[in-house]
Amino acid sequence: MAAVANKLQDIVPKNSLLARFGDYSYAMIYRHADNQDDAESLAIGSEIAKSIATELFEIEKRSITTTISLGICECSRLGGDAIGMLSRAERTCMNASEQGGNKALLYSPSKQVSDDSSSNMEWMVDLIAEQVEKNSLHMLFQPAVSLKNEPGEYYQLLPRLLTEDGGQISAGEFIPVARSAGLLGQVDASVLRHAIVLLAEKHADGQDVRLFVSQSAEELKNMQFLGSLKEALNAGDFDNKCLIMEFDTDEILDNLKAIRPGVEKLKELGVSIGFAGFQNSDNHLRMLQHINADYLKLHHDCLDLDNNKLKQLFTEAHKHHMQIVAPRIENPQRIAALWSAGADFIQGNFIQKPDENLGFDFADSVLW
């Protein structure tokens, strides 16, 4: 990575800022000329990819070559939303990698989208409403592997919004739009229906699948939703604990008193419960004194904690009979550290990128 970084510093445009973004990725902010169009931006990215691919790197007396993938997103298309910009650029980069790498792609969810952010919002709201009505949200799956030989095949269900030109918009991008438009409850219901039907099918085929399904904590205050869930579960012939309904920890905290009866109702139904985005903070840890889950999915910042702090956090969770899920794993070094600290499950692109099928070989997976 250091050799690639040095090369990137030499070849990126002078009016740009390059910084480490992830274990194996960099982010670059580049201010282009006012009259520069998409084709010119793409040409710059393609030239960077070409320069890396043709370079011979000397690493520990060995000569090696490598390639990179680039995702490009223009700030003007996001109304100043830096987090959204990074999310779109990262997703576009992943698309480039999935297409074989050694290329640059430009973020463009649809030819209908203009540079006006309100138009983008209206376009996405219409698309969400249409796909929820037709029950046509696209589903991907990412395995979560047990570090303690836990039985079952665990997957995270990841909904995607499909665009007319074949692109995919991640939940991190379209869920905030759905929430603002008052469509989040319908999205949650559509995703949950898909999960229940899929679990019934897989268990009928003898496949012991468990699904993590993200939902809005607001639904826990909706008795009509909980009643409909009970009916749907009764129609499916599988152990209800195989459905793991996952809620954002901060959302739970913000409405703890109002939400607690809903959590108890889920427990009565036998559904497993997960809290996502869990941090090593006083308020998150205090919450465990008042409400429990079956699984705690760590906030990605927790992956940077030293081993002693991780062990303390995991010990506290295990004391409350909760299993730890560590997401966004990108290298084997993290797996070794998490295993030694006592994590229960790991999930991330190092294990497998999100896929349309539930075909991961849990029995033969070699993690490090």
Angle between helix 117-133 and 171-180 (nearest 10): 90
Digit-by-digit pLDDT tens for the chain (368 residues) are 788 888 998 988 888 899 888 777 889 988 776 666 778 888 999 999 999 999 988 887 788 889 999 999 877 544 445 656 777 788 788 888 878 889 999 876 543 333 445 555 788 899 999 999 999 999 999 999 999 989 999 999 999 999 887 788 999 889 999 998 999 999 999 999 999 999 999 999 999 999 999 999 999 998 888 889 999 999 888 999 999 999 999 999 888 989 999 999 999 999 999 999 999 988 899 899 899 999 999 998 898 899 999 999 999 999 999 999 999 998 888 899 999 999 999 999 999 999 999 999 998 775 55
Dihedral pair phi/psi, residue 338, rounded to 5°: -70, -40
Structure tokens of 246? 């996952």
Q: Which helix (H) or strand (E) holds 170?
A: strand 168-170
Nearest to 212 by CA among 98, 365, 23, 358: 358
Residues 6+ apart with CB under 8 A from 138: 159, 160, 161, 162, 168
| 199-232 per-residue burial string, b: 16 or more CB within 10 A, e: under 16 | bbebbeeeeebbbbbbbbbbbbeeeebbeebbeb
pLDDT recorded at residue 34 = 64
Neighbours of 41 (CB within 10 A): 17
Residues 6+ apart with CB under 8 A from 16: 28, 29, 30, 31
Structure tokens of 63? 């000569």
Determine contact, residues 338/310, Cβ cutoff 8 Å: yes
pLDDT recorded at residue 120 = 57
In angstroms, the CA 30 to CA 14 distance is 9
What 3-state DSSP class applies to 36?
A: coil
Angle between helix 171-180 and 184-204 (nearest 10): 130
pLDDT recorded at residue 116 = 41
323: β partners: 295
In angstroms, the CA 298 to CA 328 distance is 10
Dihedral pair phi/psi, residue 29, rounded to 5°: -100, 125
Three-state SS string over 270-301 comes to CCEEEEEEECCCHHHHHHCCCCCCCEEEECHH
pLDDT recorded at residue 161 = 94
pLDDT recorded at residue 366 = 56
CA-atom Rg of the chain in angstroms: 22
In angstroms, the CA 175 to CA 210 distance is 23
pLDDT recorded at residue 78 = 45
pLDDT recorded at residue 123 = 86
Q: Which helix (H) or strand (E) holds 325?
A: strand 323-326
- List, in order of start, the domains of the chain with CATH numbers: 2-106 (3.30.70.270), 120-347 (3.20.20.450)
pLDDT recorded at residue 79 = 45
pLDDT recorded at residue 35 = 62
DSSP string, 51-115: HHHT--EEETTEEE----EEEE--GGGTTT-HHHHHHHHHHHHHHHHHTTSSEEEE--S-TT--S
